[in-house]
Amino acid sequence: MADIPAVFEATAGYRARVGAFAAWLGLSVRWDLLLVPGGHAYRGGVVAALCDALRPWMALHDVAHWLVAPTWRKRRTNFGLGAAPQVHRREAPSRVLVSTRHARAEETAAAVLTIFLAWDLLDGDAAESATLGHDGMRGYDASENRFTEAGYERWEAVLRKRGLIDGENRSPLVARFRSEARESGGTCR
């Protein structure tokens, strides 16, 4: 069994990096909240991340959702996608602003982006854990409703077109964040 205090201490640097990157984007990661008011993981620029305190890359997934969501849904509860599929909860129709198929596609885009963000923002073990945690979604092809290699390549192309990754699958946002942190005397590897 894992030594929870030791794991908590070992992931402190990752929490700091995820929190600083989110703040740079204008988001607030609350490691002390299990859910934001109303019982949601994200609402109005706040990511509730208590359940992710030992796995900070999972909070990075909510940051990826924010980056993928169109501007008009960025401040909506759970980005207007409704409850996560694993929650098995029906949302009020006013909270679900996209079709199930679109929500699944956007979930996949966020999963793929989480992997790229993790490799640029975090290091070795944390990035590998993020990859393992999100790898199952990255080849999802919404048009075929199944996982395919072509689906993965399609998501890379979508993220590249939106400027969220470059030709080398690196995040220009993380590069800018790191550059600005260095210039201001902050620390971010």
pLDDT, position 88: 40
Asked if residue 54 belongs to a domain, the reply is: yes
Residues of the chain short of pLDDT 50, as ranges, are 86-89
Query: What per-residue confidence (pLDDT) applies to 4?
Result: 67
188 domain-assigned? no
- Residue 141 falls within a domain, yes or no? yes
In a domain, 127, yes or no: yes
For residue 64, the enclosing domain spans: 4-82+89-183
What are residue 163's phi and psi, to 5 degrees? 80, 15
Q: What is the reported pLDDT for 144?
A: 52
**Structure tokens belonging to residue 109:** 């885009």
In 3D space, the residue among 15, 100, 98 whose CA is nearest the CA of residue 54 turns out to be 15
Q: What was the pLDDT predicted at 52?
A: 75
| Euclidean distance between CA atoms 12 and 18, whole angstroms | 10
Beta strand 42-43 with 28-30 is unpaired
* Cα–Cα dist 19/184, whole Å: 17
Angle at 75 between CA 70 and CA 81, to 5 degrees: 65
Yes or no: say if 157 and 109 are a contact pair by the CB < 8 Å rule.
no
Output the furthest CA–CA distance in the chain (Å, rounded). Answer: 48
**Measured distance CA(127)–CA(132) in Å, rounded:** 9
> How far is it, in rounded angstroms, from Cα 36 to Cα 47?
8
pLDDT of residue 25: 93
Tens of pLDDT, residues 69-111: 888 887 777 766 665 554 444 555 556 666 777 777 778 888 8
The dihedral formed by the CA atoms of 41, 15, 44 and 92, expressed in degrees to the nearest 10: -10
In tens, the pLDDT along 14-25 reads 889 999 999 999
Number of domains making up the chain: 1
- Report if residue 189 sits inside a domain: no
Stated pTM of the model: 0.79
- The answer to whether residues 169 and 116 touch, using CB atoms and an 8 Å cutoff, is yes
* Side-chain-facing half-sphere of 136: CA atoms under 13 Å: 3
* pLDDT given at position 23: 93
